[in-house]
Amino acid sequence: MSQPLQGRLALVTGSGRGIGNAIALKLASQGADIIVNFFRRRDAAEKTARDIEAMGVKAQVIKANVGDPAKIDEIFDTIGNDWGHLDILINNAASGVGRSVMDLDVKAWDWTMDINAKAVLLCSQRASKLMEGRGGKIVSISSLGSSFVLPTYAIVGVSKAALEALTRYLAIELAPKGICVNAVAGSAVETEALKFYIKEGLIKDTRQATPAGRMVTPEDVANTVAFLCSEEAFMIRGQTIIVDGGTSVAPFATPE
């Protein structure tokens, strides 16, 4: 049986581990070849690539700090030379500095905004050129921190708000090129990043507080991303789909 993404090429930024890893594996399971991008953890990225290849599709590992515009150019020059096109871009890589607003400085601001927001712009610009004439999908990963206040999450929240606004502008401006642009926002998702926040006591273990009865997993986010990359989602443009098990619409809910 032919798979929905067979013959498509997807770049997933920050896909060695966490949510990016789940997205890369999900798209690969639907037949897409995957560019696995990483920043510091080559071992994790290479493991992801091996897992992808085991599904019978191709994987290419590219190390690049997406916070550095010159490195973004290197990623897309490589894809242009090696593949000549791109069908799907997932802006997943993110970093941040856990501080309250009053403790933020220029360095923390620039670091976080460069990786979480500026990279979304630059990657989308370069990706759209490789999608020219064939259309494509761009999905960026956001979080509830774009609209809600979480302790020490200020700069990441602000960067995600920029990402969501950019998603709307990109969706409209790239629509004539047949490129669908959307975002997926998760609440607390079970990953290394989250374990850090819980360990530091910065957020509560939200397991019991989620109306859906369990925490959001990387696979829950990946499933929504895969849907947005499918033709069934063609008419969804510029939206941020929230995957949170109901948490954000039931702020006053108390566990049974």
Ligand X SMILES: NC(=O)c1ccc[n+]([C@@H]2O[C@H](COP(=O)([O-])OP(=O)(O)OC[C@H]3O[C@@H](n4cnc5c(N)ncnc54)[C@H](OP(=O)(O)O)[C@@H]3O)[C@@H](O)[C@H]2O)c1
Residue 194 in the binding site for ligand X (CB under 6 A): yes
Residue 41 in the binding site for another protein (CB under 8 A): yes
Catalytic status, residue 197: no
Instruction: Look up residue 200 and give its two tokens.
Output: 């530091």
Task: Supply the minimum distance, in Å, between the C-beta of residue 97 and another protein.
Answer: 6
Q: One-letter amino acid identity for 101?
A: V
State residue 243 phi and psi, 5-degree precision.
-120, 95
**Contact call for residues 93 and 64 (beta carbons, < 8 A):** no
Residue 168 in the binding site for another protein (CB under 8 A): no
For residue 15, give the nearest of 32, 3, 6 by alpha carbon: 32
Residue 50 in the binding site for another protein (CB under 8 A): no
- The interface mask with ligand X, positions 80-109, x = CB under 6 A, is ------------xxxx--------------
* Annotated active-site residue in 118, 137, 160, 197: 160
Instruction: Look up residue 109 and give its two tokens.
Output: 């601001």
- The interface mask with ligand X, positions 216-255, x = CB under 6 A, is ----------------------------------------
* Annotated active-site residue in 47, 153, 169, 204: 153
State residue 130 phi and psi, 5-degree precision.
-80, -10
Residues 6+ positions from 34 with CB-CB distance below 8 Å: 9, 10, 11, 12, 15, 24, 27, 28, 49, 52, 57, 58, 59, 60
64 or 131: CB nearest another protein: 64
Task: Scan residues 116-145 and list those touching ligand X (CB under 6 A).
Answer: 141, 143
- The interface mask with ligand X, positions 161-190, x = CB under 6 A, is -------------------------x-xx-
Show the CA angle centred on residue 202, arms to residues 148 and 167, nearest 5°.
Answer: 35
245 binds, among another protein, ligand X, none (CB under 5 to 8 A by kind): none
Residues 6+ positions from 66 with CB-CB distance below 8 Å: 13, 14, 37, 39, 72, 75, 93, 115, 119, 123
Task: Scan residues 103-132 and list those touching another protein (CB under 8 A).
Answer: 107-108, 111
**Contact call for residues 17 and 49 (beta carbons, < 8 A):** no
Residue 204 in the binding site for another protein (CB under 8 A): no
Residues that bind ligand X (CB under 6 A): 13-14, 16-20, 37-41, 44, 65-67, 92-95, 115, 141, 143, 186, 188-189, 191-194
Provide the annotated active-site residues. 153, 160
